Amino acid sequence: MTAQQIQGSEAVAPRVPVVPMTEATLLSVLGAVSICHLINDMVQSLLPSIYPILKASFHLNYAQIGLITFTFQITASILQPFIGHFTDRRPISWSLPFGMTCTLIGLVLLAYAPTFGLLLMAGSLFGVGSAIFHPESSRVARMASGGKHGFAQSFFQVGGNTGTAIGPLLAAALVLPLGQRGVLWFTLFALLGIAILIWVGRWYKQRIDHLRTRKAARPHDPLPRKQVLFALGILMLLVFSKYFYIASLTSYYTFYLISRFHLSVASSQFHLFLLFGAIAAGTLIGGPVGDRIGRKLVIWVSILGALPFTLMLPYANLFWTSVLSVLIGVIIASAFSAILVYAQELVPGRVGMISGLFFGFAFGMGGIGAAVLGMLADHTSIDYVYHLCAYLPALGLLTGLLPNTEPYPQKRRR
């Protein structure tokens, strides 16, 4: 039984459910994977949060810092589509706790790494953990969506963005006072994530077994293959513009604030927290709004709508830099849930592959962006990087080339 059949079988209501699918059950599963997404992405945000410590301890330049991010994100980028494609055909319930275990090992290695090479190895383990976690947990979120796919993806993703937001604060509280060994505090969160994912894995296995007993419905592909591939290419370019710009913020925002406004490391971490909080809020907004008014409109606004603010950011003072960063984070972050669900609906029955492809591509663009922008900053300046990246949201104009797959957006029921 393929995952295409499994996913397609969601359209056929069972007469005698084997697994209870009450609203409380679905919300508990969504909440569980969202909490684990929080933990996963909190660990990811730990890396850029402690870059000032690693830079001083290992005498790193900006290019080496970018290489750490590149190693982590490119590992996740390459593996995710393959893992998603494989688990579409053969879902593996224990893969989720296994992925978090890889992250746990990476944390321990990061805490004790004596060389730059071992820092890269720790980053690659984070990448492996994320490569397993994202496509599989995205599939679980869709299974537990109750038909509200945009809401489920936003709810799932906001957990990750919340983790990204609180990661710098926890790094400032736990790692900065203790140095590199302070990373060990984060292993407690990883252990909690493993325990939760063991429970999710049991539900996932029961759900897969249940779906295999149901008659498979043939997935409906409303568009010709060439048009689907063209639309996926456009979506990839939009993800490129979003994550290349986000890379300039997540990897170098603290350095930008320290360089331009002479802030302390602790103060810059607070501003990074505000930025990540804005990204979390935007993620939560994008999915439900896409369910309501249509995903293409959300993509239009979330990519192109950030352009005026990104153009103003390099010329702003500290106060307006904070305000503009929050606005940019909210607007641009609302895109990904809409893009992901739009792509999943373009290719029915391939939830794992599409999720892995887009999560992986996003990670890859973030990693390449971090490396390229780091080298550019070494040869020019951090300020120049922000001037250049300000034009990336203009690629949002490409949204006009996407097919209109939702001519009649869902309206509120009375």
Each residue's pLDDT tens digit, 104-113: 999 999 888 8
Is the per-residue pLDDT at 413 higher than 50? no
What is d(CA 32, CA 28) in angstroms, rounded to the nearest whole number? 6
Check residue 323 and give its pLDDT: 94
Q: Tell me what the mean pLDDT of segment 92-104 comes to.
A: 89
Check residue 222 and give its pLDDT: 63
Structure tokens at 277: 């909080």
pLDDT band at 223 (very low <50, low <70, confident <90, very high): confident
CATH superfamily placement of domain 21-211+223-401: MFS general substrate transporter like domains (1.20.1250.20)
Report the mean per-residue pLDDT for the chain.
80
Any residues with CB less than 8 A from the CB of 262 and at least 6 apart, and which?
none
This prediction's pTM:
0.67
Scanning the structure block, which residue is given the tokens 């663009």? 365
Put residue 410 in one of left, alpha, beta given phi > 0 → left and psi -120 to 50 → alpha.
beta
> Of 335 and 407, which is predicted with more confidence?
335
Q: Tell me what the mean pLDDT of segment 187-201 comes to.
A: 93
Closest CA to 79 of 38, 119, 135, 137: 135
Is the per-residue pLDDT at 188 higher than 80? yes
Residues in the chain: 414
Is the per-residue pLDDT at 6 higher than 70? no
Q: Tell me what the mean pLDDT of segment 365-385 comes to.
A: 82
Check residue 97 and give its pLDDT: 92
Check residue 153 and give its pLDDT: 83
Is the per-residue pLDDT at 290 higher than 70? yes
43-57, 210-224, 272-286: which range is least confident on average?
Answer: 210-224
pLDDT band at 289 (very low <50, low <70, confident <90, very high): confident
Any residues with CB less than 8 A from the CB of 99 and at least 6 apart, and which?
128, 129, 130, 131, 132, 133, 136, 197
Over pLDDT 90: what percentage of the chain?
17
Number of neighbours of residue 171 by Cβ within 10 angstroms: 27
Closest CA to 48 of 156, 152, 149, 171: 171
Is the per-residue pLDDT at 161 higher than 80? no
Check residue 10 and give its pLDDT: 41
> Of 64 and 363, which is predicted with more confidence?
64
